[in-house]
Copies of this chain bind each other. A is one copy, B any other.
Amino acid sequence: MQFDLKKYLKEKKRIIDKWLEEALPPENTYPEILHKAMRYTLFAGGKRIRPILMIASYDTVKRPSKYDEIIPFACGIEMIHAYSLIHDDLPIMDDDDFRRGKPTNHRVFGEAIALLAGDGLLTEAFSLMSRKHKKLSPTKALLSIQEIAKAAGISGMVGGQVVDFQSQGKKVDKKTIEYIHNSKTGALILASVRVGAIIGEGDKKALDALTKYGKAIGLCFQVMDDILDIEGEQEILGKDIGSDIEKEKATYPAVFGMESSKDKVKELLDEAITALDSFDKNAEPLREIARFIVKRSY
């Protein structure tokens, strides 16, 4: 039977939304505005691509799969993603008014509360991941926190944000754009895949293969985003076309040209699929997600 990716993504998104709903205190928790603001962005229609990758990676190495042990980390990484969007959209950063067709967090709650909602989501992610785990060993929990903290931090997402911000309006070289993409987007996607394999107790060979896969799709995802910002259709992307150009953002096509960028995407897809060669049909979701990332445009 053909693997139905659309159904898979929908089903997993539903599960993750439920986990997230339970992971946070109720919306009417004191102070209410903080909890409303955190939930506003966390439940603003995200595709949940990072936790889905974590689950798909976990399912690739673990059989039979039971998701209990993965929940805090799947939720944690999505909360970290949500915090990064809130801070990124602030007027002192990208100054975006809309995201996924809705007013951005600070447009609804004000800049101070948006700042604190971001801080709250980031901190709560670590609180969640360091809770007493029922089945997962403390060693594996600690290792997973470490993976995610490094990917989100100064040598990962935060580092990438800094260079991205500093590169606005400047002509950047190839090394810089690869640093930005690998750090800002790639690191957290790679961590999603690796943590899935760590918690699923994949052996070294499996972890190495999934690391190759994660690196390839992490960069692929961001290069595709750059391409879609120029060639995409607004309804697919859910944000304004051309906003990178308008903001004079450093993008892959701007540095390497459009044709090379499209070639790079195909090359990275190949790399990702090849990395999964040693896995059986359990890796099918990972393969199809990689193809889906590329198919979004052409």
Contacts and interface: CB of A to CB of B under 8 A. Distances in A.
Interface of A: 25, 29-31, 33-35, 38, 87, 90, 92-93, 111-113, 115-116, 118-120, 122-124, 126-127, 130-132, 137-139, 141-143, 145-146, 149-150, 152-155, 158-159, 161-163, 165-166, 179
A165 B116 CA distance: 10
Given A130-B149, A141-B138, A162 B116 contact: yes
A232 to B, nearest CB: 27
B34 A123 contact: no
A34 B157 CA distance: 12
Nearest to A93: B112
Given A34-B162, A132-B143, 5 more contacts: A126-B126, A137-B138, A138-B139, A138-B142, A145-B145
B87 A162 contact: no
A149 B166 CA distance: 30
Nearest to A24: B154
Contacts of A130: 142-143, 145-146, 149
A113 B159 CA distance: 10
Nearest to A163: B31
This chain: copies in complex = 2
Contacts of A31: 159, 162-163, 166
Contacts of A139: 138
B154 A25 contact: yes
Contacts of A30: 159, 179
A115 B92 contact: yes
Residue of A30, A116, A141, A166 most packed against chain B (CB within 10 A): A116
A166 B119 contact: no
B113 A87 contact: no
B131 A146 contact: yes
A38 to B, nearest CB: 7
Nearest to A127: B149
Given A87-B119, A115-B93, A145-B145, A162 B127 contact: no
Nearest to A119: B158
Given A115-B92, A165-B112, A120 B153 contact: yes
15 contacts: A29-B154, A38-B154, A87-B119, A90-B92, A92-B92, A92-B112, A93-B115, A119-B161, A123-B152, A123-B158, A127-B153, A130-B146, A130-B149, A138-B138, A141-B142
A38 B124 CA distance: 22
